[in-house]
Each structure stands twice: as structure tokens, then as C-alpha cells.
């Protein structure tokens, strides 16, 4: 299986698309959310 042949957003992530998620998670916005492993993969799911 070739990851890049899968349906995706056809682009690489931008730096801010990870850092803003991290800042939000580290803030009090996710105070009751734990043990999560969200994928930041632009639709590439392996």
C-alpha cells in the first residue's frame, strides 16, 4: 500500500496546522478530554 495513493487533501501540512492544535489542547479548552490520539494527517490514514 502506498500512502500517497490514498485519497487525501493532496498537500502537506502547514506548520501552524499542528501548533495551533497543540496550543488548544494545552489550554483549558480540553479540560475533560484525555487519552485521545487524534490524527493530523490530511486524510492520510494508515
> Is the CA virtual torsion 26, 28, 18, 33 positive or negative?
positive
Interface positions, 1-46, toward another protein (CB under 8 A): 1-4, 8-9, 12-13, 15-16, 18-31, 33-42, 44-46
* Rounded Cα gap, residues 45 and 39, in angstroms: 8
CB of 14 to another protein, least distance (A): 9
Alpha carbons within 13 A on the beta-carbon side of 43: 9
Min separation Cβ 38 and another protein, Å: 6
Grid coordinates representing 33?
A: 478530554
Which residue ranges make up the site for another protein (CB under 8 A)? 1-4, 8-9, 12-13, 15-16, 18-31, 33-42, 44-46
Amino acid at each position: 500500500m502506498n500512502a500517497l495513493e490514498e485519497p487525501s487533501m493532496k498537500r502537506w501540512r502547514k506548520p501552524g496546522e499542528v501548533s495551533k492544535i497543540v496550543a488548544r489542547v494545552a489550554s483549558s479548552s480540553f479540560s475533560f478530554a484525555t487519552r485521545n490520539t487524534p490524527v493530523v494527517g490530511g486524510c492520510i490514514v494508515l
